[in-house]
Homo-oligomer: A and B are copies of this chain.
Amino acid sequence: MIIVLKPRAKESEVKAVAEKIKKMGLKPHVSMGVERTIIGAIGDESLLKEDQLKAMAVVEKVLPIMKPYKLVSREFQKENTIIKVGDVKIGTNDIIVMAGPCAVESEKQVIETAKAVKKAGGHIFRGGAFKPRTSPYSFQGMGEEGLKLLAKARNVTGMPIVTEVMDTADVPLVADYADILQVGTRNMQNFNLLKAVGKVNKPVMLKRGLAATLNEFLMAAEYIMAEGNHNVILCERGIRTFCTHTRNTLDLNIIPIIKKESHLPIIVDPSHGTGNYSLVSPMSKAAIACGADGLMIEVHSNPEEATSDGDQSLTPKSFAKLMEELRSVAKAVGRRL
């Protein structure tokens, strides 16, 4: 960490900062420049309490040198993490597609959609039994009943299932049914939930928060891994910006950066990322083109009757067409679908 002092810092002030650094267990390295005195703190940066240093009146700013994340970092583990879910492997050269309805609504809807997803070449079935909704008056999901329907879809199609868990209290229940536990956007920094899924022996798919920086996203994954669960799949699903032409702004730029910074697989959700079914196809292709390991796509056997997110769901037919087109793009960038 580099501590930059204000202009004309007194010797006693410089000393006080250096002492503070020593007390934290690091070695201060003072460098008097022409206009500023700068102090480097050499040693284990994680011991440094940045806020305490900033609270000293003589400190102008504090510049971290090291990245805050460890277990998630490519420096910590060179090879890609490969996550096995049934017969599916996530994080290899193969593109993995998770698809299904936003919310589980009925047996008919679930089984029909699951069969269509399977037929088109989808690998993992998605569906929400617990739904985070902006309004308390909106449909909140079928709960355990929905989980049972998802399990039935797995039985029928053989596809593993991924579904969201919203509360620490529900983790055991959801883990009983799901093959992958999803932590949603609004819970990306629900640290108790992160810890809870970190103790479970099932892969976790962690969706990026609407206002999450790269560091915050990776640190959320670090929370899960620090509890022992190293099977984390990251998911970019759009951030909040000034733009209103899409519901959120899908930030594909983070894909190649995550692949460089971390060994964890990352997938993209263009359905929530854009909020508009007509954008799912082009943005899915773009996601594959820039290096995503997979996709999560909303498919509904009848979007005009969906209880939630009908406007961003593909029909089985348009999903099958998309899968076909994605195969070419995957091939063009040396991947396989």
List residues of A whose CB falls within 8 A of some B CB.
2, 4, 7, 20, 29, 31, 33-36, 38, 40, 42-43, 46, 49-56, 63, 65-66, 68, 75, 132-137, 140, 166-170, 186-187, 189-193, 195, 209-211, 213-216, 219, 222-223, 226, 239-246, 249-257, 260, 273-274, 277-279, 282-283, 285-291, 303-313, 325, 328-329, 331-333
Given A213-B244, A307-B49: A68 and B135 interface contact (C-beta under 8 Å)? yes
Are A34 and B43 within 8 A (Cβ)? yes
User: Which residue of the partner chain, among B42, B136, B211, B282, contacts A211 with CB atoms under 8 Å?
Assistant: B211
Given A253-B283, A279-B256, A291-B282: A7 and B75 interface contact (C-beta under 8 Å)? yes
Are A257 and B245 within 8 A (Cβ)? yes
Cβ contacts under 8 Å, A192 to chain B: 166-167, 169-170
A281 to chain B, nearest CB (A): 8
Report the copy number of this chain in the oligomer: 4
Residue of A140, A244, A257, A277 most packed against chain B (CB within 10 A): A257
Are A214 and B243 within 8 A (Cβ)? yes
A310 to chain B, nearest CB (A): 4
Given A55-B306, A304-B56, A333-B328: A46 and B137 interface contact (C-beta under 8 Å)? yes
Are B136 and A226 within 8 A (Cβ)? yes
How far apart sit A268 and B225, CA to CA, in the bound complex (Å)? 35
Are A211 and B242 within 8 A (Cβ)? yes
Are B291 and A289 within 8 A (Cβ)? no
Cβ contacts under 8 Å, A244 to chain B: 213-214, 244
What are some 28 contacts across the A-B interface (CB < 8 A)?
A: A2-B2, A2-B38, A7-B75, A33-B42, A51-B306, A52-B303, A52-B305, A55-B277, A55-B311, A133-B191, A136-B195, A136-B222, A166-B190, A167-B168, A168-B168, A214-B244, A214-B245, A239-B242, A241-B241, A244-B244, A246-B253, A250-B253, A252-B286, A253-B279, A260-B278, A282-B289, A328-B332, A329-B333
A101 to chain B, nearest CB (A): 12
A198 to chain B, nearest CB (A): 9
